[in-house]
C-alpha cells in the first residue's frame, strides 16, 4: 500500500517540477495585438458560426443574402443552447477548436478576451460611433475592442395603466415620483406597488440602474469603486421599497411575475423587452404600458444593457471572411430585417430611426431607454463580483446588514477578487 | 491516486468462507496463477480506459489546484504561477466555504440515512407484493426520471406558505405552517426531504436487485425455527444484504456530498446561502473562472468523500 | 454439499424471497395494508410526473399558472408540434440511442468483468485496482471536465461517436455495483465448477454471470438513464448539429437568454422519458428472476 502511495507522490512531484514555468510578465495573453488587415472584395471560403438559441435557429436561413453577395462563401451556422454555451466556448478556446465567429454574451467578453482567444476588432471596418455607447463598451476590454454588438436588450418600467389612472398618477420621472407611484398603485388595489428583485442571481441588474442614476460607478478603469456614498444612498433607496412594504422580500418563482402583474397583484416592475410577450400571454393586453426608467432628479435614468456581441476567434482560419460576415450583420437594413425575423433589438441607433422599430410603441420605448444605458465592466472577474453584489443586496433587503455595511462588504470582497486584468 | 487509502478497510467479503480459506495458502499454486491471469485479463478494459481518459485529467486538475490558474489562462495552461497551498489556505479562510461545508455535512448526515431507510422500506414492500408489481415499481422510480423543472414546480407548490397543501394540512391540525423555502433554517431541511424523495427510486432499484440474493430456503428455515417477520428481516435478510447496503450507502454518500441540483433549481443557494452546497460553491468558482481555486475545493471535497467512504466500509464491515 | 440448480424461469412469479413474505403458512398473502401504504406512496412519488405529462399539453400561459393547475383547461398538442417541426428528431434520436446503448452494453460487460475479478478472484494488486475504481468514482466530475475535453480534442475525437462514448464506456459505478453483487453470491458455486474442471473465464461467463440478472438489470437501467440524459459532455464534444444528442437539441429553443418556454421544455422532457420508462418496464421483471439457490445449505 505505502509503496504505491510513494510512487504516486513521486510522479506528482515530477509533474510539478517539469511544468513549473510560471506566468511571464509580458502578459502575452491579454495584450492587444494590432487587428489584422481586412482585404478588399467579397468574402470567400468557409465560415463557421456558433449562435445561441433562436439566433442560432434563424441565422442560417437569414444569411442567404450574404451568400448571394459573396458567391464564393459558405456559411455554416451551428445553433448552440444558451444553457452551457459559456462552457462550450471556454472548452473550445482551451482546445483550440473554435468556430470562426460566435455570438458571445456581453458579460463574458472580459473573460474570453483575456484568454487571448478573441481577435481585436478591426477599427477600419467598424466605428464606435455607429453603435449605442453602452453595448459598445461591453466589447472593450482593457482599452481594446474584441467584438461588435449584434443585438441588445435593456430594462424599462412596466406598469398597469388602469391602476395608475385610478390613482391619478402620471408615469414617474424621478425617484420621488417612483416611490409615490408605487404607493399610489398599491392604494389603487395592487398588493405590491412595484416588484424589485430582492436578491439572488441577477438582482444586480435591477439594483445597479438605481446606483448609476445616482452617479455611482463600478470601476474607475483599474479598480472597483463600489463603496461610494452614492452607492449607499442608492441601496438605501432600494431597500426602502421592502421596508415600506411596497415590494415583497422573497424572490418570485418563474412565471409568477407576469401572472401577478396581469391580475393586478403587482402594479409595476422593471424588466426587458421579452416581458412584453410574457405579460400579454398572461392576460394583460391593453392595460399596461412601458416607460423609460426615472432618474434621480429627472428623467431619463440610466438602465442596464445586455444582449449579444459577435466576436472572431484567434484560432479562426478565415478571419477575413468572419469580419465581413459581421460587417454584413451590422448594416442598418440588415439589423432591421433581423428584428423582423426574430425580434432581436438592433445595436445601432440608426436602425431605430425609421422602419419596423418605430411601429411598435412599446418597443420604441426600449429604443429611447437605450440612449441611457450602462454596461457592467468588461473584466474577467465580473461574474464573481456580480454574485457578491447579489448576496449583499439580499442581506440589505432582508435587513441582516445595513446598506452601508453591505456596500462596504461589496467593496472589500471585490477588491480582494480584483479585476483580473493583467 | 490517494484513493487507494480507502481499500485498507476492504474487502468486505461476507459469506466468503472460501475466500479466507484461499488466502491462507502460499502464493503461486497453479490455481492462484490462473486466477491472477484471469483477473488481470478481466481488468484490461477498465484499466485501458482509466489510463486513457481518467488518469491524465485527474493529474492535470490536481496540478491545477496548486496553481493560480484562471479561465483566462485556458490557451496557455502551463503559463501559470505555482501557488503551493495558497488555494487551500484561502479556501479554509473563506467564511462562505465554511458555511457551505456545514450545509453539506448536515445534508449528508441527515439525508443519507433517511434516503437509505426509505429506499429499503420501499424495496422490501415492493418485493412483497404480487399484483400490480410493475406498476408500483415504476411509480416509485418516477421521480428519478421526471424533469427537474417539473419537480421544482410541484415541490414549490407543495411548500408554498399560504396556499401550499403541506401548510393547509398543518392548518387542519392547528399549526401555522412556515415559509419553508424562504426561511434560513427550514430551507435546507426541506431540500433534504426533497432529495430523499428524488433519489430513493435509484436506491430502491439497487436494493431490489440485492434482495434477490436472499435464498428463500433460509427464510423458510428461519420461519420453521419460529422467527417472526421482523426477526427474519433483521437476522436473515439484512446480513445477506450487507454488500448491497454498503454499495447503496457509498453511492448515496458520494452523491449527497456533491448535492447540487436541488438548491440550484429550488433556492439558487438562498436564502442567504443557507442551502448553498460545496458543489454549488465549486460550480460557481468554475463559472467565475477561478480554475485553480475551484480545483482545490474539488479535491477537498474528494478527501471528504474518501473519509466518508472509508467510514462506511468500516461501519458495514462483516462482523466475524 | 453443494449442488447448483439453475432457476426454472417461471419460479419467480409465484415465489417471494423476502423476509416479509416467506412463501409459507398464514402470512403468505401480502396484507391489504401494505397495498394501501404503497399506494399512498406512489401518489406522492408520481405527482410531479403527472403534472409534467398534463402540462405538456397546455398552452404556455397555462403552464406558467401559479399555483400550478392540474387538468389542462385548453388541450393542445402545439408544444409537441413545435418541437417536432423545429428539431430534426430522427437524427438526434439515433445519436442518443447509439451512444446510450453502446455505453450501457460496455458498462454491463466490462463492469461485470472487473467486478467479478474484484469480488471472487485472488490476485496481487487487487486493492490497488479497487482503489482506482473507487477513486475514479469519488473525484468530482466538474474538476476533470476541461482537461478531459482538451485530451479528447488532442486525440482528434471531438465531434465523433468515440468521443461521445469512450470516456463513459466503463464506469466505476458499474464495476463497484457488480463487485458488491458478486460478493453476495456463494463461493461454493465456483469451487464446484472448478472441481468439474471448468476454466476461470468459463466459470465467470457461464456459471456466475447468468446469476446476476437483477444486478445487470439495475446497472442497465441506471447507466442507460445517465447516458441518455447526459448534457454537458455531448454539448461540448458534438460540435455540429448533426452530432447533437436529444438533451442538447431539446435545450436549444426552450431555454433562452432571458426567458424560458416551459411548455416546450416539458414536452421535450416527456419525449425523452418515454424510452426510459419502456426500458424500465422491460427490465424490471428481472428483479425477481435471478436466484433460486436451491440446494445450497
Q: In the 8-state DSSP scheme, what is residue C71? A: S
Cis ω before A401 (30° cut-off from 0): no
Give me chain B's average pLDDT, please: 86
Band (pLDDT 50/70/90 cuts) for residue B149 is confident
Contacts of B66 in chain C (CB under 8 A): none
Rounded to whole angstroms, the Cα distance separating C134 from C127 reads 10
What 3-state DSSP class applies to A306? strand
pLDDT tens sequence across A240-258 = 999 999 999 888 877 789 8
Q: What are the extents of the domains in chain A?
A: 45-154+305-374, 156-303+378-417
Average pLDDT estimate for C47-57: 92
Q: What is the pLDDT of residue B218?
A: 84
B207, part of any domain = yes
- Lowest-confidence region among A288-292, C145-149, C262-266: C262-266
Rounded to whole angstroms, the Cα distance separating C139 from A230 reads 46
Interface partners of C (3+ CB pairs, < 8 Å)? Answer: A, B
Rounded to whole angstroms, the Cα distance separating C132 from C172 reads 9
pTM of the full structure: 0.87
A267 pLDDT higher than 80:
yes
Contacts of A116 in chain B (CB under 8 A): 75-76
Q: Looking at the 3D structure of chain B, how many domains does it have?
A: 1
Interface partners of B (3+ CB pairs, < 8 Å)? Answer: A, C
A50 pLDDT higher than 70:
yes
Q: What is the pLDDT of residue A420?
A: 84
C262 touches chain A (CB under 8 A): yes
B190, part of any domain = yes
A81 touches chain C (CB under 8 A): yes
CB-based contact C260 A153, cutoff 8 Å: no
Contacts of B59 in chain A (CB under 8 A): 11-12, 15
A175 pLDDT higher than 80:
yes
Architecture of the domain defined by A156-303+378-417? 3-Layer(aba) Sandwich (3.40)
Band (pLDDT 50/70/90 cuts) for residue A226 is very high
**CB of B28 within 8 A of CB of C154?**
no
What 3-state DSSP class applies to A166? helix
Q: In the 8-state DSSP scheme, what is residue A39? A: P
C26 pLDDT higher than 50:
no
Average pLDDT estimate for C272-289: 85
Rounded to whole angstroms, the Cα distance separating C204 from C10 reads 24
Contacts of C63 in chain A (CB under 8 A): 255
Q: What are the extents of the domains in chain C?
A: 86-289
**CB of C164 within 8 A of CB of C234?**
yes
What 3-state DSSP class applies to A153? strand
What is the pairing mode between strands A148-154 and A345-346? antiparallel
CA distance B101 to chain C (A): 15
pLDDT tens sequence across B262-310 = 999 898 887 889 999 999 999 999 989 899 999 999 999 999 999 999 9
CB-based contact B271 A19, cutoff 8 Å: no
Burial class from Cβ neighbours inside 10 Å (0-12, 13-18, 19+) for residue C10 reads exposed
What 3-state DSSP class applies to A135? helix
Judged by phi (left if over 0) then psi (alpha if -120 to 50, else beta), residue A202 lies in: left
pLDDT tens sequence across C202-254 = 999 999 999 998 999 999 999 999 999 999 999 999 999 999 999 999 888 88
**ipTM score of the complex?**
0.85
Give me chain A's average pLDDT, please: 88
B55, part of any domain = no
Q: What is the pLDDT of residue A11?
A: 43
What 3-state DSSP class applies to A152? strand
Contacts of B225 in chain C (CB under 8 A): none
CATH says C86-289 is which class? mainly alpha
- Give Cβ neighbours of residue A237 (< 8 Å, ≥ 6 apart): A175, A210, A214
pLDDT tens sequence across A370-412 = 999 998 999 989 989 999 999 999 999 999 999 999 999 999 9
Q: What is the pLDDT of residue B59?
A: 93
- Lowest-confidence region among A137-151, B72-86, B197-211, C100-114: B72-86
Q: Domain containing B204 — which CATH number?
A: 1.10.3720.10
- Give Cβ neighbours of residue A331 (< 8 Å, ≥ 6 apart): none
Architecture of the domain defined by A45-154+305-374? 3-Layer(aba) Sandwich (3.40)
Q: What is the pLDDT of residue C23?
A: 39
Burial class from Cβ neighbours inside 10 Å (0-12, 13-18, 19+) for residue A356 reads middle
- Give Cβ neighbours of residue A412 (< 8 Å, ≥ 6 apart): none
Contacts of B137 in chain C (CB under 8 A): 280, 284, 287
- Lowest-confidence region among A82-96, B88-102, C22-36: C22-36
CB-based contact C19 B197, cutoff 8 Å: no
Q: What is the pLDDT of residue B191?
A: 95
B11, β-bridge pairs: none
A20 touches chain C (CB under 8 A): no
Band (pLDDT 50/70/90 cuts) for residue C29 is low
C251 touches chain B (CB under 8 A): no
A91 touches chain C (CB under 8 A): yes
- What percentage of chain A has pLDDT greater than the value 90? 72
B13, part of any domain = no
Reading the block at residue A33, the C-alpha cell is: 495585438
Host domain of residue B147: 89-315
Amino acid at each position: 500500500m505505502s509503496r504505491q502511495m510513494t510512487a504516486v507522490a513521486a510522479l506528482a512531484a515530477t509533474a510539478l517540477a517539469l511544468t513549473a514555468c510560471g506566468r511571464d510578465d509580458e502578459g502575452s495573453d491579454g495584450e492587444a495585438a494590432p487587428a489584422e488587415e481586412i482585404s478588399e472584395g467579397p468574402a470567400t471560403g468557409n465560415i463557421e458560426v456558433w449562435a445561441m438559441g433562436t439566433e442560432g435557429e434563424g441565422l442560417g436561413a437569414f444569411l442567404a443574402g450574404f451568400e448571394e453577395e459573396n458567391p464564393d462563401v459558405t456559411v455554416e451556422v451551428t445553433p448552440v443552447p444558451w444553457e452551457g454555451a459559456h462552457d462550450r466556448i471556454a472548452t473550445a478556446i482551451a482546445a483550440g477548436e473554435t468556430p470562426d465567429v460566435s455570438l458571445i454574451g456581453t458579460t463574458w467578453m472580459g473573460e474570453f478576451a483575456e484568454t487571448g482567444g478573441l481577435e481585436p476588432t478591426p477599427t477600419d471596418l467598424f466605428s464606435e460611433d455607429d453603435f449605442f455607447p453602452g453595448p459598445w463598451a461591453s466589447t472593450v476590454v482593457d482599452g481594446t475592442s474584441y467584438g461588435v454588438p449584434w443585438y441588445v436588450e435593456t430594462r424599462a418600467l412596466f406598469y398597469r395603466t388602469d391602476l395608475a389612472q385610478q390613482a391619478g398618477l402620471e408615469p414617474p420621472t424621478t425617484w420621488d415620483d417612483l416611490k409615490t407611484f408605487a404607493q399610489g398603485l398599491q392604494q389603487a388595489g395592487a398588493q405590491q406597488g412595484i416588484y424589485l428583485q430582492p436578491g439572488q442571481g441577477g438582482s444586480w441588474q435591477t439594483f445597479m440602474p438605481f446606483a448609476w442614476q445616482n452617479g455611482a460607478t463600478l470601476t474607475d478603469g483599474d479598480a472597483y469603486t463600489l463603496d461610494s456614498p452614492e452607492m449607499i444612498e442608492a441601496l438605501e433607496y432600494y431597500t426602502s421599497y421592502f421596508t415600506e412594504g411596497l415590494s415583497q422580500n422573497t424572490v418570485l418563482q418563474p412565471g409568477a411575475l407576469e401572472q401577478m402583474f396581469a391580475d393586478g397583484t403587482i402594479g409595476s416592475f422593471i424588466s426587458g423587452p421579452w416581458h412584453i410577450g410574457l405579460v400579454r400571454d398572461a392576460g394583460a393586453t391593453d392595460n399596461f404600458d412601458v416607460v423609460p426608467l426615472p432618474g434621480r432628479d429627472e428623467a431619463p435614468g440610466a438602465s442596464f444593457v445586455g444582449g449579444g456581441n459577435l466576436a472572431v476567434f484567434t484560432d479562426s482560419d478565415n478571419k477575413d471572411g468572419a469580419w465581413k460576415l459581421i460587417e454584413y450583420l451590422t448594416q442598418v437594413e440588415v439589423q432591421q430585417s433581423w428584428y423582423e425575423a426574430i425580434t432581436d433589438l438592433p445595436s445601432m441607433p440608426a436602425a431605430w430611426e425609421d422602419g419596423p422599430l418605430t411601429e411598435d410603441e412599446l418597443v420604441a420605448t426600449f429604443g429611447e431607454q437605450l440612449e441611457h444605458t450602462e454596461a457592467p465592466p468588461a473584466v474577467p472577474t465580473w461574474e464573481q463580483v456580480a454574485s457578491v453584489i447579489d448576496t449583499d443586496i439580499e442581506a440589505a433587503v432582508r435587513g441582516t446588514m445595513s446598506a452601508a455595511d453591505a456596500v462596504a462588504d461589496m467593496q472589500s470582497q471585490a477588491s480582494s477578487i480584483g479585476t483580473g486584468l493583467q | 491516486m490517494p484513493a487507494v487509502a480507502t481499500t485498507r478497510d476492504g474487502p468486505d467479503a461476507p459469506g466468503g468462507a472460501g475466500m479466507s480459506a484461499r488466502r491462507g495458502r502460499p502464493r503461486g499454486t497453479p490455481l492462484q496463477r490462473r486466477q491472477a491471469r484471469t483477473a488481470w485479463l478481466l481488468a484490461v478494459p477498465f484499466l485501458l480506459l482509466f489510463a486513457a481518459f481518467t488518469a491524465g485529467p485527474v493529474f492535470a486538475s490536481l496540478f491545477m489546484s496548486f496553481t493560480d490558474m484562471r479561465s483566462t489562462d485556458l490557451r496557455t495552461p502551463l503559463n501559470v504561477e505555482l501557488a503551493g497551498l495558497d488555494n487551500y489556505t484561502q479556501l479554509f479562510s473563506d467564511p462562505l466555504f465554511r458555511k457551505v461545508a456545514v450545509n453539506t455535512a448536515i445534508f449528508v448526515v441527515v439525508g443519507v440515512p433517511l434516503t437509505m431507510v426509505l429506499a429499503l422500506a420501499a424495496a422490501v414492500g415492493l418485493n412483497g407484493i404480487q399484483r400490480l408489481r410493475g406498476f408500483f415499481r415504476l411509480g416509485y422510480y418516477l421521480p428519478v426520471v421526471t424533469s427537474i423543472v417539473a419537480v421544482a414546480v410541484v415541490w414549490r407548490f407543495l411548500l408554498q406558505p399560504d396556499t401550499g397543501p403541506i401548510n393547509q394540512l398543518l392548518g387542519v391540525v392547528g399549526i401555522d405552517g412556515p415559509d419553508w423555502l424562504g426561511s434560513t433554517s427550514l430551507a435546507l431541511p426541506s431540500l433534504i426531504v426533497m432529495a430523499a424523495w428524488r433519489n430513493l427510486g435509484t436506491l430502491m432499484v439497487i436494493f431490489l436487485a440485492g434482495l434477490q440474493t436472499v435464498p428463500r430456503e433460509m427464510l423458510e428455515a428461519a420461519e420453521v425455527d419460529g422467527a417472526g417477520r421482523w426477526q427474519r428481516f433483521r437476522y436473515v435478510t439484512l446480513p445477506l444484504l450487507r454488500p448491497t447496503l454498503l454499495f447503496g450507502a457509498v453511492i448515496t454518500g458520494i452523491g449527497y456530498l456533491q448535492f447540487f441540483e436541488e438548491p440550484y433549481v429550488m433556492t439558487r443557494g438562498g436564502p442567504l446561502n443557507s442551502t448553498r452546497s460545496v458543489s454549488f460553491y465549486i460550480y460557481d468558482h468554475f463559472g467565475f473562472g477561478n480554475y485553480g481555486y475551484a480545483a482545490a475545493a474539488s479535491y477537498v471535497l474528494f478527501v471528504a468523500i474518501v473519509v466518508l467512504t472509508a467510514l462506511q466500509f468500516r461501519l458495514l464491515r462483516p462482523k466475524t | 454439499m453443494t449442488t447448483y440448480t439453475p432457476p426454472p424461469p417461471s419460479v419467480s412469479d409465484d415465489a417471494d424471497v423476502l423476509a416479509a413474505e416467506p412463501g409459507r403458512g398464514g402470512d403468505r398473502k401480502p396484507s391489504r395494508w401494505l397495498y394501501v401504504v404503497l399506494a399512498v406512496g406512489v401518489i406522492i412519488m408520481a405527482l410531479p410526473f403527472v403534472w409534467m405529462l398534463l402540462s405538456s399539453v397546455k398552452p404556455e400561459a397555462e403552464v406558467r399558472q401559479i399555483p400550478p393547475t392540474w387538468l389542462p383547461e385548453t388541450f393542445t398538442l402545439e408544444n409537441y408540434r413545435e418541437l417536432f417541426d423545429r428539431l430534426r428528431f430522427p437524427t438526434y434520436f439515433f445519436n442518443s440511442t447509439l451512444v446510450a446503448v453502446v455505453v450501457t452494453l460496455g458498462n454491463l460487460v466490462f463492469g461485470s468483468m472487473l467486478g467479478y475479478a474484484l469480488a471472487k478472484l485472488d490476485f496481487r494488486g487487487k486493492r490497488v485496482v479497487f482503489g482506482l475504481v473507487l477513486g475514479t468514482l469519488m473525484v468530482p466530475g466538474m474538476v476533470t471536465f476541461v482537461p478531459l475535453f482538451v485530451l479528447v480534442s488532442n486525440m482528434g475525437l471531438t465531434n465523433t461517436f468515440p468521443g461521445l462514448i469512450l470516456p463513459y464506456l466503463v464506469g466505476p459505478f458499474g464495476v463497484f455495483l457488480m463487485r458488491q453483487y458478486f460478493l453476495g453470491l456463494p463461493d461454493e458455486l465456483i469451487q464446484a465448477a472448478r472441481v468439474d474442471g471448468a476454466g476461470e473465464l468459463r466459470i465467470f461467463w457461464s456459471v456466475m454471470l447468468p446469476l446476476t440478472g437483477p444486478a445487470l438489470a439495475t446497472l442497465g437501467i441506471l447507466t442507460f438513464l445517465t447516458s441518455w440524459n447526459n448534457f454537458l459532455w455531448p454539448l461540448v464534444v458534438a460540435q455540429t448539429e448533426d452530432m447533437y444528442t436529444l438533451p442538447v437539441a431539446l435545450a436549444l429553443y426552450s431555454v433562452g437568454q432571458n426567458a424560458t418556454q416551459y411548455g416546450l421544455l416539458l414536452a421535450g422532457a416527456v419525449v425523452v422519458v418515454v424510452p426510459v420508462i419502456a426500458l424500465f418496464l422491460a427490465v424490471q421483471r428481472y428483479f425477481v428472476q435471478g436466484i433460486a439457490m436451491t440446494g445450497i445449505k
